[in-house]
Chains A and B, each alone.
Chain A
């Protein structure tokens, strides 16, 4: 086609883009006029013009005409015209073209023509377009072409791949049927081209319905065996650079990866032989120096290793595979190094080969340092991550950190995530973890995502023993003039929580800490500033001495009148709070954050998201199963439930009542098994107290958690914690029915001496401080099976003997339910145990010698007189158990201090069991008569 060649030359000679566009537009106008002209075009001209349009299209220009002419060509009887027609349609036709019925008609004629060349063109077109309309029209016809006895080999090949394509695009339209069995037998075909095409088809089909194609396993093994044992010349044209049928081998090995290892022993050993032969052949000296030879050979090797890993059942093969890949790690071909690293990643997840992979650690670390190609270095990072375990975590994390300093920007974030995960997963002591994360922020602060710094805070809050270290380390890190904003966030949060732990050192006194944080305040973004403001209010609580300084800062115009509404609001509220709230209110509101519930690391979730599903989880799951490491058991549930604390809720304890499923601070109810929804989460093994309301007084004196009430409708459970004169009770209301509770409300009545209040939102707190008891701002509807959580904050003002009562009201099925249950809040809950020597004890005992200060009672044992149980009860009562004080070792002696808001009452007790008589004598001495009496009453009922 000369005209076409001339046009192409013209285009190539164009000096500029504009000239090219001009030339093309001229040509388009010409073609358009020809197509619209009165004179009917002959086939040749049509073909030429359609070809020109195709060329223009391939240059990247839009073509919106010529389709009709192409369809005409496709229906021509001349092969070359038909071919161009089909080509144009394949390249340009979108699936929803209105020409599709005309095209389909042409295809139908060609399929019926029995001319193999025409049939092939038609099948190619179907496969190239692959639209649903085409699948609808031809999907049922193609299987019969494929398996018909008289079909030519080349048509069979086209039909197999055409079917494969249709199965990918519209699997529902490809009918399974008796042809499937016959397709499987194509694996035995004489013609290797047919076998190759059929293997592709069967693999695709077997991935979707493995059962239907199970018989292909034995045929595939047989075929593979024949190929790998053949001499390279046997297969003639299917031998590629001295490698026998590499494509077919790879495809057969892929097909076998759709199935577990064969159950039949003979078949299985035949397959193992094949795999061994492939491994052996890879070790033989090359038959050619051409890269094609080595590529083809190794392509088969890598596919064989993929199958070995897939089966994960032959330890010798796995270890052999690992060793052979190990040789590639230092191969001069970059491609092989890359693939060896990639393949070893999966080997690292098998328990059989994990150790073998680990032996290559030095080579991999070296690759990280010396590889010039970032994609190879990326593979090395992946492999280090996969081979990491407790034994080598320090080395690997250190190497990754040092690599991070110079790493390509494109992979920094991923490395950061990986280091953060490994550091947490394999941390033996948390100081190493804290150091590692702070290093991460120092080296690659911009690439440290929120998940990472949220996580370090969660861990520091949950691990008491690292808090002081963390405070010290962040304080030091903040000294650097150009510290990263992420470090400031972590630093602000941690000093706000635990700054007191380092405040004793004059170099990090409260004022120094505050000045350090505030010196960076003006340089950072709004969310960080908001976080710092919260840290400041926490400082006011931790360090009363800096209160005026901080109040001055909060009071400044740049805070109180800040243009950002969040900053302004925080400044105003914190300032008010610091002015009007008493120290103990402040202490309650600004209390240290409670521990976070254990949950899947959000970093891991992020890495998974980044790497795409299937990549990370598979590997990690396998790895962890192997090690029996469950500390991060994988949870495939979406992790939005366990998202880290948001910035809005960052520092203040989130102790407002709300539905349990939204309560990140205590537990996430969403993870509970539905069968026993309420008991498990409280970690209580004791059976719920029957008729609890009467017995609460007795049962809960020495324990803090449990079910206090249960009937057919409702279960009420508690978890409580006390410190000095403050207490916090988490109340869980479980709806045992399947229908809603409406108008659900609760209230607490108590004596004036015990101030019970529910802390609502901070804002409510500011306005309603004077109230003792709040109506509960919980969601008034409790769904069937759901659970509601409420938090009660309790402050003991002075000693008391009444028990507060929790009143619960709700509507169930039209009737109003009223439940009153005693809350197990007794005086002894406010005990702080006191250790003392024998000498001190008796000295104080004597000091409390006034008759009114001592209460004594003698009572009969209600329970078996077991020393261990008694010990546990006395400890649960809240006092310290003093051994070696009483001359008689059978006696129990304890000491503690009751904290109330106004006073502290020291308390000594002595319990003397008399096993013969099954009697006890209990003696209590405190500085206050009422306290002695009350404690004696409470304790004497316990034994």
Chain B
């Protein structure tokens, strides 16, 4: 997989993950171009399209589009299920995930994606293994973080 994008129906990019080195300017251009293409497609259309020398696999979940760019010889259907499994992971972690969860906890979304996909290849397909890794990390986080008062949080203490 070359990259994965999450964007909303309004064309707001919520998450981007690039698995090959790409210049920032090119990234922006590609994102813009792809969002335009994908958002223009109708619901019953097929989830695959050819774009430049890549294949695009996308799926819409509620207000969010998940969009993967894969290479010529990659398997489209299994990529569709990569997306689905990622959604399942998010769902399980956040408990019925919605776009807001991903906005406010974007760093968590990145961590989950990293546990699931690495270098553009699937690292572990087991939901349990991935979530176990994330939960372990969260446990560490809670140990770290003693609760703070609101004033401290505002930097007023």
A residues sitting closer than 8 Å to B (CB atoms) are: 2-3, 5, 8, 12, 44-45, 51, 54-55, 58, 60, 78-81, 83-84, 87, 91, 94-95, 117, 120, 123-124, 127-128, 130-131, 154, 157-158, 161-162, 164-165, 168-169, 192-193, 196-197, 200, 237-238, 240, 245-248, 250, 254, 257, 292, 295-296, 298-299, 302-303, 306, 334-335, 337-339, 372-373, 375-376, 378, 612, 614
Known A87-B107, A375-B46; judge A237-B127 contact (CB<8 A): yes
Q: Is B26 an interface residue (CB 8 A)?
A: no
B91 surroundings in chain A (CB, below 8 A):
none
Contact of A373 with B129 in the complex, beta carbons under 8 Å: no
Choose one: B42, B47, B144; the contact of A79 (CB below 8 Å).
B144
**Given that A60-B13, A95-B21, A292-B84 are known contacts, is A162 also in contact with B111, CB under 8 Å in the complex?**
no
Interchain CA distance A738-B150 in the complex, whole Å: 89
6 cross-chain CB contacts under 8 A: A94-B21, A94-B24, A130-B119, A197-B118, A299-B80, A334-B46
Determine if A192 and B78 form an interchain contact, defined as CB atoms under 8 angstroms apart: no
- Cβ–Cβ < 8 Å partners of A8 in chain B: 103-104
Q: How far is the CA of A60 from the CA of B28 in the complex (A)?
A: 8
Answer yes or no: B62 CB below 8 A from chain A CBs. Answer: no
The one of B49, B80, B114, B148 that contacts A295, using a Cβ cutoff of 8 Å: B80
Contact A240 B125 (CB under 8 A): yes
Alpha-carbon distance between A373 and B104 when the two chains are bound, in angstroms: 36
With A58-B13, A79-B137, A130-B119 known as contacts, the answer to whether A373 contacts B78 (CB < 8 A) is no
Interface string of B56-83 (1 = CB under 8 A from A): 0000000000000000110111101110
Given known A-B contacts A83-B137, A337-B46, A339-B76, A131 and B126 have beta carbons under 8 A apart: no
The residue on B at minimum CB distance from A45 is B155
Q: A158 contacts which of B77, B85, B111, B123 (Cβ < 8 Å)?
A: B123
B122 contacts A373, CB within 8 Å?
A: no
Residue of A whose beta carbon sits closest to that of B50: A375
Q: Scan B94-127; emit 1 where CB is below 8 A from any A CB, else 0.
A: 0000000001101100110010001111111111
Shortest CB distance B106–A (Å): 7
- A339, B136: Cβ atoms closer than 8 Å: no
CB closest chain-B residue, reference A130: B21
- In Å, the complex CA distance between A196 and B49 comes to 27
Asked if residues A339 and B48 are in contact (CB atoms below 8 Å), the reply is yes
Q: Which of B13, B107, B119 contacts A162 (CB 8 A)?
A: B119
Beyond A117-B140, A299-B76, A303-B78, 9 additional contacts (C-beta under 8 Å) are A2-B154, A80-B141, A81-B144, A130-B119, A161-B123, A240-B125, A299-B77, A334-B44, A335-B48
A2 contacts B119, C-beta separation under 8 Å: no
Q: In the complex, what's the smallest C-beta–C-beta distance from B47 to chain A, in angstroms? A: 5
Q: Give the distance in Å from the alpha carbon of A161 to the alpha carbon of B75 in the complex.
A: 18
Measured in the bound complex, the distance between the Cα atoms of B120 and A401 in whole Å is 41
Q: Which of B103, B104, B106, B122 contacts A200 (CB 8 A)?
A: B122
Taken together as a complex, chains A and B put the C-alpha atoms of A87 and B47 apart, in Å, by: 30
Given A58-B13, A169-B21, the answer on whether A87 and B110 have CB atoms closer than 8 Å is: yes
Distance A303 CA – B75 CA, assembled complex (angstroms):
7
A196 to B118, CA, bound (A): 12
Could you tell me if A299 and B78 are in contact, using CB atoms closer than 8 angstroms? yes
Residues of A close to B144: CB separation below 8 A: 78-81
* CA–CA, A590 and B37, complex, Å: 53
Expressed in whole angstroms, the minimum distance between the Cβ of B28 and any Cβ of chain A is: 7
Residue of B nearest to A76 (CB): B144
Quick one: closest A residue to B80, CB to CB?
A: A295
Are A161 and B119 in contact, with the CB atoms below 8 A? yes
Q: How large is the interface on B (under 10, 10 to 19, 20 to 34, 35 or more residues)?
A: 35 or more
With the chains together, A295 CA to B84 CA distance in Å? 11
Docked complex Cα distance between A306 and B81 (Å): 19
Report the Cα distance A295→B121, complex, angstroms: 19
- B16 touches which one: A44, A58, A158, A335 (CB < 8 A)? A58
Q: Are A373 and B46 in contact (CB under 8 A)?
A: yes
Closest Cβ of chain B to A282, distance in Å, is 12
Binding site for A on B (CB under 8 A): 13, 15-16, 19-21, 24, 28, 42, 44-50, 53, 72-73, 75-78, 80-82, 84-85, 103-104, 106-107, 110-111, 114, 118-129, 133, 136-137, 140-141, 144-145, 148, 150, 153-155
Expressed in whole angstroms, the Cα–Cα distance for A158 and B136 within the complex equals 16
Q: Assuming A165-B119, A339-B77, is B126 touching A238 (CB within 8 A)?
A: yes
* In the complex, the 4 A-B pairs of residues with the closest C-beta atoms, listed nearest first: A165-B119, A299-B77, A193-B124, A299-B78
Contacting pair B111 A83 (CB below 8 A): yes
Q: Is the CB of A295 within 8 A of B81?
A: yes
- Chain A positions within 8 Å of B137 at CB level: 79-80, 83, 117
B49 touches A240 (CB 8 A): no
Hey, which chain B residues are within 8 Å of A299, CB to CB? 75-78, 80-81
Q: Of residues A45, A237, A306, which shows the largest number of chain B Cβ atoms within 10 Å of its Cβ? A: A237
Q: Are B124 and A157 in contact (CB under 8 A)?
A: yes
Q: Which residue of B lies closest to A12 (CB)?
A: B103
Residue in contact with B75 in the complex, picked from A60, A128, A302, CB distance below 8 Å: A302
Q: A43 — nearest CB in chain B belongs to which residue?
A: B144
The residues of A that contact B45 with a CB separation of less than 8 Å are 334, 372-373, 375
Which residues of A sit under 8 angstroms from B123, Cβ to Cβ? 157-158, 161, 193, 196-197
The reply to whether B77 and A298 form a contact with Cβ atoms under 8 Å apart is yes
Q: Which residues does chain A contribute within 8 Å of B16, judged by CB atoms?
A: 58
A3 touches B104 (CB 8 A): no
How close is B77's CB to chain A, nearest CB, in angstroms? Answer: 4
A58 to B17, CA, bound (A): 11
In the complex, what distance in Å separates the CA atom of A637 from the CA atom of B130?
Answer: 50
Query: In the complex the two chains form, what is the Cα distance from A375 to B50 in whole Å?
Result: 8
A165 to chain B: closest residue by CB: B119
On chain B, the residues within 8 Å of A246 by CB distance are: 78, 81
Q: How far is the CA of A250 from the CA of B140 in the complex (A)?
A: 35
Cα-based distance from A193 to B125 in the complex (angstroms): 7
B15 vs chain A, min Cβ distance (A): 8
User: Which residues of chain A are within 8 angstroms of B85 by Cβ–Cβ distance?
Assistant: 240
Q: Inside 8 A of A373's CB, which chain B residues have their CB?
A: 42, 44-46
Q: Are B125 and A238 in contact (CB under 8 A)?
A: yes
Is the CB–CB distance between B44 and A131 below 8 Å?
no
Tell me whether B106 and A79 are in contact (CB under 8 A).
Answer: no
Residues of A close to B125: CB separation below 8 A: 192-193, 196, 238, 240, 245, 247-248
The distance in angstroms between the C-alpha atoms of A12 and B14, with both chains bound, is 13
Bound Cα distance A337, B45 (Å): 11
Give complex CA distance A862, B21 in Å: 81
CB neighbours (8 Å) of B80 from chain A are 295, 299, 335
Q: Which of A87, A123, A164 contacts B121 (CB 8 A)?
A: A164
Taking CB atoms, residues of chain B closer than 8 Å to A193 are 123-126, 129
Q: CA of A8 to CA of B129 in the docked complex: distance in angstroms?
A: 31
CA distance A162 to B19 in the complex (A): 11
Rounded to whole Å, the gap between the CB of A65 and the closest CB of chain B is: 16
Task: List chain B residues, Cβ under 8 A from A614.
Answer: 72
A332 and B112 CA atoms in complex are apart in Å by 34
> Inside 8 A of B107's CB, which chain A residues have their CB?
51, 54, 83-84, 87
A55 to B44, CA, bound (A): 34
- Taken together as a complex, chains A and B put the C-alpha atoms of A614 and B72 apart, in Å, by 10
- Residues of A contacting B145 with CB < 8 Å? 44, 80
Report how far A602 CA is from B58 CA in the complex, Å: 36
| Cα–Cα, bound, A162→B118 (Å) | 7
Which of the residues B49, B121, B127 comes within 8 Å of A161, measured between beta carbons? Answer: B121
Please tell me if the beta carbons of B81 and A240 are within 8 angstroms of each other in the complex. yes
Query: Contacts A83-B111, A162-B118; is A196 near B124 (CB within 8 Å)?
Result: yes
Please determine whether B136 and A295 come into contact, CB atoms closer than 8 angstroms: no
Q: Are A250 and B136 in contact (CB under 8 A)?
A: no
**Contact in complex: A296, B140 (CB < 8 Å):** no
How far does the alpha carbon of A192 sit from the alpha carbon of B21 in the complex, in Å?
29
B33 to chain A, nearest CB (A): 14
A375: which B residues are within 8 A, CB to CB? 45-46, 48-50
Is B129 a contact of A237 with CB atoms below 8 Å? yes
Which residues of chain B have C-beta atoms less than 8 A from A247's C-beta? 78, 81-82, 122, 125
Task: Check B19–A165 contact: CB distance below 8 A.
Answer: yes
**Docked CA distance A91–B53 (Å):** 24
A302 and B77 contacting across the interface, CB-CB below 8 Å? yes
